[in-house]
Structure 1
Amino acid sequence: MAIVGAPFGDNLDVLIAFVALCSAGALLLFYDGTRRVLGDTVALPAALLMAINPAMLWMGGNLMAEAPFVLLTMLALWALAREDESPRFALLAGIAVYLAALTRTAGVVFVVATFGYWVARKRYRRAALFSSVGVLTIGVWLAWTFAQPDPDTRRLYIADLGLRGRDAGLHFVRDMAGRMVPRLKVMLTNYIPTALSVPTVAGTAVDNAGWLAATLALGGAGVVVLWRRWMGVIAFLVPYLLLLLVWRFQAGRFLTPIIPLLLVVVLGGAAWVSDRYVPKARGGLLTALTLLLTGGALVRDVAARRDGSCLLPPQFDRLASLLFRTGAGSAPAGALGARLDRPR
């Protein structure tokens, strides 16, 4: 964001346009990659659901690093889907993964995943070259981060790990282990269903249990299908989910960058189950699932539109423009935290 904004004086309109273009580019890459691997039968509904997903729409309209991060992630996966066509696509995938890791620290897991992916595919030369470059780029950056004397003051992610002080390593492992089970429960019953926009009925638990069973069954089938046909998706998805299970903080929005991956896994699994067990339905299961998820997403989109909590008032927009043009460092402390949306 800083690199894009610098030539234009951090113009707010330019930055918003950049985020929107990143979001649109990620959608196009996701569709084309899915189409090449699973065909239009899965690619079209997957792209539709990504386009109307409430979290993805929020991402495309907010000045945060999620949109460029998702764009680089989709570029890497798109290139991995085509790496057998030319070594240039493998090079493109490696560059995109490095840029994603430099855009958001969570992307470091994709660096490890890409190395493991090439090892699993017995592309040892690519894995060795990729890791060598990674040590000189991402490795140096991580080493610098660990070496900083005041990570809390600098608000570095390394401070969240709590790896400083006596017996820090032991406490770190113990805390991670303690988070996994409760975090997994929240992930399966709340964060993932919300990310997929599954429709539910208020005040009942039967539909939630049904969606949990369906997500696990179709997701499991999708993992098997994609491991054979688009291994990069699983290589990226699994480490990222594991990171969310053990990370110090939890929030539903942390799933936003991998919503496209969740969609293609579930829809890919639905397509395979439909073709394998109910071939006479001609994709009826996939169609029904797409319609249900579309309805759930649209209901949430309409609710978000009616609820003014996600829309910035005009006076906040004017303040944001002023701060971006004059430099955020000139803003008085707490100015951005003021409740300008509160009615007078």
Structure 2
Amino acid sequence: MYYIKPVISIGKVDIKSFEQFPIGKEVLIITSKTVSQNYGLPDIFDELRKKSSVHIFNHIRPDAPFEDLDLVLDELKQVSIDTIIAIGGGSTIDAAKALSIAFGDVSYKDVFYGKTPVPTTKIPLIAIPTTAGTGAELSFGAIIYDKDKGKKGGIRGEIIQPNYVFIDANLHNGCPIHLKAEVGFDCLTHAIETYISKKSNPIVRNQSVNCIQVIFQHLTKSCKENSIEDMEKVAIASSLMGINLAFSSTCLPHRIQYVIGPMTGTSHAQGLIAIYKGWLQYLYNEKIDELNQLASDLNMSTEEFLNRVNNLKKELNLDYGILKLGIDLKDIDEIASSVSGNVQADPSYENVESIINILKLAI
């Protein structure tokens, strides 16, 4: 099974773009200070204010901490929000997805901890990504962070998928080159992991192969040449990986990053880049069939595929391991024992020793 339900528009975002979708009387906009001041968005917001009350919040930090979500809920507790618009990277969109179920009687925290099921209704959500990597605009998950308990995890369910998605490569091209490269590698990890995952299926694997080919061909150009044509291809591939995430799953690198990120104060993409140094080598050492099949589908040998990934990291100045994140050998056992979630989806996982070995290879 594989389907795309949200309406997806590709092209320049302007006020006419919004006119094709229902916008309510009370509109919540989640964005960042930098994004909200550029790309003609102030003019769009002014136009929206002619018909709606617009509430703009630009304080969401990486990983969408609980306290950032609570600030929005506390300030708008007397307001009946009709529409949510998220303009930003993965954390911004994930925050909006969590908030889309949080204004009713359901506690997003209870959903996060599995105390109550994901509700069957939400506030309509428009997602406009500004980074091409997370696929948050089309996935069924919202990754958020309980700082008090040191728990990073997800609210998952089809209901929180955005209703409408705008892909404007001009927004993606506006982010710094190094950030563009890092999140682009995140997109590559989604393609590789959803292919290799035990939860994969033929359509997911086909989409993964196409995405990997796009990243190999267009990511470096989109970063170093600021090519809008190449950036649009990467942005579309990133969004489609959000669908892959909905119908497959990530593997051990994501599970490990959820521990390492809060521990080191590093970004999601930075953690994945470092962990991949060890994970791909571990898959190769363990002769994992899924890795070999992925390389074959790309018309490469396994060695050629691994070299192509490593060369991409070098081209984009992303060639580092977990030492750069501040992880030491003495931390490895603690990290490995803290990894949770669906680790069995990774065909290389046998027990905690698998994670320890991956981390040692990622040094």
TM over 0.5: no
Which structure ranks higher in relative contact order (CA pairs < 8 Å, sequence separation ≥ 6)?
1
More strand by share: 2
What TM-score does the superposition give when structure 2 sets the normalisation length? Answer: 0.27
Greater percentage in helix: 1
Choose 1 or 2 for highest CA Rg: 1
